[in-house]
Structure 1
């Protein structure tokens, strides 16, 4: 539900804009506010899960999310729905920051790959099911039902949670680092608000630059406070573990590159190849479906052959996918394009389980909540940065080919778009190659230590 509601809302924004008599530039904040608030609270609630019990935080989050989903469906004005979306995101952040920790505690090390791989499938399913389910709902029902669809599922989850999840005991040891949590919330809020406004207003705008400066100041302030706190929100010694740090970096980069593919390929299919929207949708939905199928199998492989080995293979598959997409032009057959997109899905499916296992196995039991929160934060950071760099790289390439700066699709010179698209995918392939080399280097040093 948490990932579904991120993607399902986007398709309903034009309908909601008309129903509320709100301009398009404002209605997009219904989607953006959910992302910002979720990212602001992922890490604090991960820490709260470690202190007071992950199951307890998860259960409360499910209740908040379900109630807010019900209230989001009432058309009481633009500011009402923004407020309810913020509360909905608060509940979502409580579940997203604890779910991987609960799974890790529940399963043995020999079973975690399959468990976390299955979890990755559900996350992917929520993301890809949103547009299709949203379109189906809007065909027959008012827009309110895109939120109300969460309610019956939420009620079932609340009941099952009471029956299945363990009774949480108060685990609190020491004082909660309230000031550290507040500064962390403000840091994440400033970062994501800046990134979103930067896309809308430009990355040289005063608002964007001010928010980035504020983010840096807050980040340094947070580090200063945490190094002196008796019970810090984030123990920075966690990042001394190479598996932990490299896996989080890999999560940011891979999710970012996925968003690059998600943004550029629809433009290529619909504007360059003039393919109908429904056929383009069928082509683009193929690689997430492969990811959903492969993820649990990758978890089993990770349990059997080791997470480092499967993670390296996943990066190799993703490098092939990006290099393949970098060879595509306006005459490439759709079959060949689907092969390269299939490698995207295969690489992603193989990536999720071993990476999650490497992160969660790198921390002690009392740090599972914050590790789970950092995984969720890395995913959202990657998606946001990917959306930004997709446009920056694409239009930089187009501008180089045209010989002048542009931010529009070059209708008169479609070959310039092909150049920009190829330029972008060669860059993403190079980034993944650097990550792959880093992974191999770490594995080599570990074996020879």
Structure 2
């Protein structure tokens, strides 16, 4: 039993981290009322956390490799606990936004070092089991976040969603000190500050550009300017990595078709998971469920993810990642296609259930297989780099998915309502904000928007499945040690 205590420590931290990416969604109206915050401020309460995670995940993995993964994990937990306390006592929106950004700093380091700790603590079948359980916890956390947030907000206050992180962080810190020994790169390796700065610029500008694209359109001046800044940052990052003796990312991996296919599968899986944002809107605006009930309607997906990841992590660790990752993407694609074909304006929440179960199974199969394939492609002393790359591509997939699918969702609704209602803009805003409506034409438009989202997700998943089947090696070999 003692050998699984490290897994408990990692799962506690990861559960808390992922819940905090979604728990705030339900509490935003109460936060706005309690702090007299504007809509723009509330959007930043959500977006700053995502931005910081995207900007720092790869950097945090590299720092963990150099300074020690156990040390960085403990520090990240302390930062997360302290920033959660600051969130809970925030007197205004500005302080809350700053505290959420600090949460993102702790969360980025926590996420990538937790993956690296699992990858270096367990081997063989035990690693498969650990990755399966960890992946299932991630899936459950993402689904129960809105339910958890709704229960705490309704029974106590919005501040409770942040207070609850403090005892969990303290327990996790105690377990971490007991269970883990320190692991790091050789002592002569140096922190890659140019790489950290240029990658933060690249990923931060790209993620914020995707956020603005979803709100202002892809051709707005700010959106295009941010994408240009991201491109410049990427060029500077490559130049910095080529010159540094201990680069935070081994660029030779980017020439490996197998590794790139694994990263594409991570993007596609995260993209498919982004469709749940619009499913939640549909459940609330069209089906008429409360936020808590909408969260409960998504729990079958979490259950399927938990069962699939636990079973496959334990039993399929010897199977080629080409098979498991391709099968996972096919399941995600088929599940999205099912929902894209069966949901209509008269559907209840049960119409989405078969597709959600298949998507959940696909996510559950894919997460442990992808994590294991990534760790097999890098040397053990660079486990943080591998987990950082995976986490970064997952964040990119989520940000890209929400931005692009948001445009698809809104465009289809707008086209469907054209000429059918007097105030199309107001009607569209009702559907995209999740406010319940009883108007039949809005039910049809909302359903058509959601089915378009699912069909777009299905297409990407199937393209990614083709790429993984063609390019992932049967048995990835460890990358050579970086300079």
When normalised by structure 2's length, the TM-score is 0.85
1:247 aligns with 2:262: yes
Q: Does 1:438 align with 2:467?
A: yes
Partner of 1:91: 106
2:300, 2:357 within 8 Å by CA — same for their partners in 1?
Answer: yes
Look up the SS of the partner of 1:175 in the other structure. Answer: coil
Counterparts of 1:352-371 in structure 2 under 5 Å? Answer: 352-371=367-386
Q: Does 1:321 align with 2:335?
A: yes
| Deviation (angstroms), 1:285 | 2.2
Summarize the Cα distance change of 1:309–1:365 in structure 2 as closer, same or farther, 3 Å threshold. same
The runs of 5 or more residues in structure 2 that have no matched partner are 1-15, 432-438, 477-483
Contact 2:146 2:291 in 1 (8 A): no
Partner SS, residue 174 of structure 2: helix
User: Of the candidates 285, 289, 293, which is equivalent to residue 299 of structure 2?
Assistant: 285
From the superposition, tell whether residues 267 and 93 of structure 1 become closer, same or farther in structure 2 (CA, over 3 Å): closer
- Paired position in structure 1 for 2:455: 426
Tell me if the contact between 1:50 and 1:171 (Cα under 8 Å) persists in the aligned partners: no
**Does residue 76 of structure 2 align to residue 47 of structure 1?**
no
Corresponding residue of 1:201: 216
Rounded to whole Å, the distance in 1 between the matches of 2:281 and 2:83 is 35
SS of the equivalent of 1:224 reads helix
Select which of 226, 231, 244 maps to 2:241: 226
Q: CA deviation at 1:293?
A: 2.4
CA contact (8 A) 2:131 2:313 kept: yes
The 3 A distance-change label for structure 1 pair 332 and 83 is: closer
Residue aligning to 2:396: 381
Query: What are the superposed Cα offsets for residues 411-449 of structure 1, whole Å, 9 maximum, x if unpaired?
Result: 6465454444434333322222222222222368889xx
1:172 to 159, 163, 187: 187
Distance of aligned partners of 1:268 and 1:154 in 2 relative to their CA distance in 1, 3 Å threshold: closer
Q: Which residue of 1 aligns with 2:326?
A: 312
Deviations 1:356-408 (A, max 9, x none): 11111111112211111111112211111111122222334445556789772
The answer to whether the Cα contact below 8 Å between 2:65 and 2:382 also exists between their aligned partners in 1 is yes
The structure 2 residue matched to 1:347, chosen from 362, 367, 377, is 362
What do residues 310-366 of structure 1 show as CA deviations (whole Å, max 9, x unaligned)?
Answer: 222222222221221121123557555311221111111111111111111111112
Q: Which residue of 337, 353, 357 maps to 2:352?
A: 337
Aligned in 2, Cα 1:335/1:129: closer, same or farther, shift over 3 Å? closer
CA RMSD of aligned residues (A): 2.6
1:125 and 2:140 are equivalent in the alignment? yes
Task: After TM superposition, give the deviation of residue 150 of structure 1 in Å.
Answer: 0.6
Spell out, residue by residue over 1:3-28, the C-alpha distance to the aligned partner (whole angstroms, 9 max, x if none). Answer: 11121122222111111111122122
Tell me how far 1:118 sits from its aligned partner: 0.9
Alignment partner of 2:330: what SS? Answer: helix
The answer to whether structure 1 residue 2 and structure 2 residue 17 are counterparts is: yes
Give distance in 2, aligned partners of 1:288 and 1:340. 13
> Map of 1:101-180 to 2, 5 A cutoff?
101-168=116-183, 171-180=186-195
Is 2:56 the counterpart of 1:36? no
- The CA distance in 2 between the partners of 1:226 and 1:404, in whole Å, is 55
Any idea what SS the aligned residue of 1:227 has?
helix
- In 2, distance between residues paired with 1:279 and 1:69? 26
* Matched residue SS, 2:154: helix
**Which range moved further: 414-423 or 57-66?**
414-423
Aligned partners of 1:444, 1:381: CA distance in 2, in Å? 24
Are the structure 2 counterparts of residues 184 and 404 from structure 1 closer, same or farther at C-alpha, using a change threshold of 3 Å? Answer: farther
The match for 1:77 is: 92
> Number of residues paired by the alignment?
446
Tell me how far 1:273 sits from its aligned partner.
4.5
Unaligned runs of 5+ in 1: none
Compared CA separation, residues 78 and 276, structure 1 to 2 (3 A): closer
Deviation at residue 139 of structure 1 after TM alignment: 2.2
CA separation of 1:67 and 1:421: change in aligned 2, threshold 3 A: closer
Distance (whole Å) between structure 1 residues aligned to residue 86 and residue 375 of structure 2: 35
Q: CA deviation at 1:155?
A: 0.8
Show CA shifts across 1:29-80 (max 9, x none): 1221111112211111111111122111111111111122122211332222
CA distance in 1, matches of 2:155, 2:292: 18
Q: Distance in 2 between matches of 1:272 and 1:85?
A: 31
